[in-house]
A = this chain, B = another copy of it.
Amino acid sequence: MEVIRSNFKDNLNKVYEAIEESDFLAIDGEFSGISDGPSVSALTNGFDTPEERYQKLKKHSMDFLLFQFGLCTFKYDHTEEKYIMKSFNFYIFPKPFNRSSPDVKFVCQSSSIDFLANQGFDFNKVFRNGIPYLNQEEERQLREQYDEKRSQANGAGSLAYFSPNATKCPVTIPEDQKKFIEKVVEQIEDLLKNEEKESLELEPCTGYPKGIHVETLESDKKERYIVISKVNEEERKRREQQKQAKEQEELNDAVGFSRVVHAIANSGKLVIGHNMLLDVMHTIHQFYCPLPDDLSEFKEVTSCVFPRLLDTKLMASTQPFKEIINNTSLAELEKRLKEVPFSPPKVESAEGFPSYDTASEQLHEAGYDAYITGLCFISMANFLGSFLSPPKNHVSARSELIEPFFNKLFLMRVMDIPYLNLEGPDLQPKRDHVLHVTFPKEWKTSDLYQLFSAFGNIQVSWIDDTSAFVSLSQPEQVQIAVNTSRYAESYRIQTYAEYIEKKHEEKQAKRKCTEDSWKEMERKRLKTQCTPYVSPTRYYCVNSFTGTSTVGKRSMSPIQEETGSDDMEEGDGQDSEYDQTDYCVESLPDGKKRAKKFKKIKTEQVPAGSLTSSSTGIFEVPETW
C-alpha cells in the first residue's frame, strides 16, 4: 500500500493495527545517497573497527534523506499455517509546515539518484506528496510553542495573542508606527460600537483587545492577518477548545511519519532488515535525534528505538546458513531460499492489501524490499526447525532458535568482525598480520603486490589514495616487512598496532588545537560581546517517548532478558556496487558435520557479546570471518 501525505492520516490506524497484530516487522529505507565523502570502498575498509565504521557512516552518510520507508508486517495464521502480510510503502519529505518550522537541507548523490531513477523511482511523489516528520527535539519545541501561546492567551484575563517569538514586556511604539496603531485602535473601538458588524480583518500586526475573540489566519497567499470577533464568554471558551484541538491536530500532522516509527518502537516487535545498519542509523537520526558521538551511546539509543533487531544478511552469513548460501545480496538470497534445503514460505497479502509478485517486481522499492526481507527471514527461521527432533516446519519469531541472531548488525566488508554487537562490546580480533602502508598517490595495487612479492600471498585494503592495509599470510613476517622498510624513501610501513596508536595521538592533538583556537576566538569575541556563547545543537537523549501514538506504551530500557549471538547489517544495496562485492563466505557445506555440531550444543544459552562467550554459542561466531 502506497502511503503519501494526502492519505497518511486516513491510513494511520491501519498501520498501527498492522504493527500491533504482527508477529514481526520487516523494514527497508531508500536514501538520496550513500556517501558524501570517500568512495564506498574507502567507506567500508576491510579493517575498520566497529567504532571507525560507525564514525565514518555517521560523518559521511547522515546528510542524505531517507525518503522512502518500507514496512511489511507479518502475522502467522496457525489454522491456515501461513503468514498474512501487510506491506506499506511510505514516501517521506520534510515539508516545512509553517514559517518557524525547520527548513531541512539534505544531500543528494548523483549516482544514487540516477540508480533510483533507472528503477523508475517517483521523485515527484516524494517532493510533492511526501509525509513530513519531526524528530523528538523538534516535536518538543513545537509543543512548547503551542503551550506558551496557550498560557499567554489564558493569562491576565486579556486576550493578547503574541507571535511565538514576541517578548513579554510592553512594546515601545516607534514614532513612525504610532499612526498605524492609533488607526487600529480606532477600528476596534468602532467595531465594538457597531451593532451590525461582527468581525474585523486587520492588516498584519499584533492586537490588544478585550472581551473579543482574536484569531490569526493565513490567506491563500500565505499572508497572515488578524480576525477580531465579538463573542460572549461561553462562545469564547468553545472557540478556545476548538482551537486547542486544532493545534493538537496540527502538531500530530507535523510529527507525521515519526508517529509510525514511534509505533514500531513502542510495539517492541522483532524488526527484520537486510544489511540494515544504515537503515537503523538513518531512522534514528531522522525521526529521533542526531546520532550520538560515541558508538556505545548509539547502541544505547538503538536499544530504546529498536529493542529487537535481526539482520537477514548477518543471519545468511552465519552458520548453519553460511556454508550453503554463496551470495547474500537480497536478490540472490531470495532466489537461493526458494531451493532445497529451504522451502519458500507460505505468505499471503491481507485483504485489501496489494500483493507482490516476486517473479516480476522491481527491487529497490522500499516496501517490496521489506517484503522480500521478511520472506528470507521466514525461510531461514523455518530451516532452523529442521534440526529439531522432531523437526518443525514453522519456527515463530518468538522461538529461542532465532535469538542468537538478535541485535547484531552486519558489518559490510569487514574481514574479521562479522557484526556490530548492539548488546555489548564488539569483537576485537588480533590484527597481528596486518601492516599499514603509506605511499605516493601514483601507486596502484600492483605496486603493492610488487613491494610485498617476497612475502607470498597478501591482501590489500585501500584506505585512501596514499595508504592501505596489507595483510600477510604469516604474522611472523610482519616485523621483517617493517624492518626492511626503515630506510625506504617513497613508502613507509608500520604495524597495525603502531598505526592505531598514532591515530589516537593525532586525534588528541587535533582536539587540543581545536580547543585552543576556540579559546582564542572566544577571548576575542568576549571583548566585543557580552553573553557567553552556548552551542545551539545539543544531543537530545531519547528516554521516554511522547505519547503521540495510540498503541500501548512499554518500558524503553535496553532489554536485558533477551540474549543472542549472531547478527550484522549495512547500506541497502541502493548503490549496486554496494551489494555486488558483498563479503564472500566460503561455500562447500558439510551437512552432516554441521548438523551434528548443532545438535550437540543446541540447548545451551548464549550470553551476548564477548568473543569468548560467543564462541560457545548455538551457531558459532568465528573469531575471524
A residues lining the B interface (CB < 8 Å): 32-33, 36, 65, 93-96, 103-111, 113-114, 116-117, 122-124, 126-128, 165-167, 169, 171-172, 174-176, 222, 438-442, 444, 446-447, 449-450, 453, 456-457, 466-467, 488-492, 494, 499, 502, 505-506, 509-510, 513-514, 516-517, 520-521, 524-525, 527-531, 576
Contacts and interface: CB of A to CB of B under 8 A. Distances in A.
A105 B33 contact: yes
Nearest to A506: B524
A449 B172 contact: yes
Given A107-B108, A172-B453, 17 more contacts: A33-B105, A96-B111, A103-B109, A106-B107, A117-B127, A123-B128, A169-B446, A171-B446, A172-B446, A172-B449, A438-B528, A439-B531, A467-B529, A492-B529, A506-B521, A513-B513, A513-B516
Contacts of A514: 517
A220 to B, nearest CB: 11
A33 B107 CA distance: 11
Contacts of A530: 438-440, 488-492
A32 B114 CA distance: 16
A36 B110 contact: no
B517 A510 contact: yes
A110 B93 contact: yes
Centre residue among A96, A104, A531 by max chain B CB count within 10 A: A531
A441 B531 contact: yes
Contacts of A36: 105
Contact of A123 (B65, B127, B169, B466): B127
**Copies per complex?**
2
Nearest 10 interchain pairs by C-beta: A513-B517, A438-B529, A123-B123, A117-B128, A104-B110, A440-B531, A103-B111, A117-B127, A94-B110, A167-B444
Given A175-B456, A446-B171, A449-B174, A521 B510 contact: yes
Contact of A447 (B113, B167, B490): B167
Nearest to A510: B521
A127 B114 contact: yes
Contacts of A450: 169, 172
Nearest to A223: B580
A111 B528 CA distance: 34
Given A110-B94, A114-B96, A174-B457, A222 B576 contact: yes
B95 A165 contact: no
Contact of A108 (B106, B491, B499): B106
28 contacts: A33-B105, A36-B105, A96-B111, A103-B109, A104-B109, A105-B109, A106-B110, A107-B107, A114-B127, A117-B127, A117-B128, A123-B127, A167-B442, A167-B444, A169-B446, A172-B453, A175-B457, A222-B576, A438-B531, A439-B530, A440-B530, A490-B530, A492-B529, A499-B528, A502-B528, A506-B524, A513-B517, A517-B517
A103 B126 CA distance: 22
A297 B453 CA distance: 51
A124 B124 CA distance: 6
Contacts of A528: 438, 492, 494, 499, 502
Contacts of A167: 442, 444, 446-447
Contacts of A509: 520-521, 524
Contacts of A492: 528-530
Contacts of A95: 110, 114
A172 to B, nearest CB: 5
B171 A529 contact: no
B103 A105 contact: no
